[in-house]
């Protein structure tokens, strides 16, 4: 709306209430930077969640293999074994290393399971160490009274 200026005879235009183009552009730039940071952070959280899921499943694979040895009353040979197992629709590749321990009788072996997502076994997702006793040997322990002994098969 135009209204006349009484001082010098020229017409003045009233400024409309609102933002200038520069102010709008600055505000949009700030919003765009904030949204980009938010998207990057949420993407990072998504990747972390997927990685943690893979590590958890890999740990389950290793623990299942140790448990299966115990259930089968197996006495694994010394050395390294490389196999794969399917869990949660994914094929997991694992390596089992069996070593002697410091046990004088030789009836306890150390196991180390390493679980990988790729067949080349380049990136270790989980590693579980366990000990297994020879299921063919009876373990005898002295009771607290000293007069009797208890025997059983260690698993």
Go through the domains of the chain in sequence order and give each one's CATH number.
36-153 (3.30.1300.30)
| Average pLDDT rounded to a whole number, residues 31-52 | 87
- Residue-wise pLDDT for 115-145, tens only, equals 999 999 999 999 999 999 988 886 565 544 4
- Quote the tokens at residue 106: 């030789």
More confident: 88 or 47:
88
Q: How far apart are CA 47 and CA 83, in angstroms?
A: 28
Q: Are 59 and 115 in contact (CB under 8 A)?
A: yes
For the stretch 140-154, pLDDT in tens is 655 444 443 333 333
Q: How confident is the model at residue 154, as a pLDDT?
A: 36
State in Å, rounded, how far the first CA of the chain is from the last one.
Answer: 94
**Over 90: is that where the pLDDT of 155 sits?**
no
pLDDT band of residue 15 (cuts 50, 70, 90) is low
Average pLDDT score over residue span 96-100:
95
């Amino acid at each position: 709306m135009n209204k006349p200026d009484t001082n010098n005879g020229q017409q003045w235009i009233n400024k409309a209430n609102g933002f200038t183009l520069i102010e709008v552009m600055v505000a949009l730039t700030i919003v765009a930077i904030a949204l980009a940071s938010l998207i990057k952070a949420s993407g990072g959280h998504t990747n972390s969640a997927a990685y943690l899921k893979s590590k958890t499943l890999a740990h389950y694979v290793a623990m299942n293999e140790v448990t299966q040895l115990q259930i089968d009353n197996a006495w694994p040979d010394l050395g390294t074994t490389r196999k794969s197992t399917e869990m949660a629709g994914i094929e997991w590749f694992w390596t089992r290393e069996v070593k002697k321990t410091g046990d004088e009788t030789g009836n306890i072996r150390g196991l180390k399971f390493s679980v990988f997502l790729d067949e080349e076994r380049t990136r270790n997702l989980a590693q579980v160490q366990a000990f297994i006793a020879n299921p063919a040997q009876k373990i005898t322990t002295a009771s607290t009274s000293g007069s009797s002994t208890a025997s059983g098969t260690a698993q």
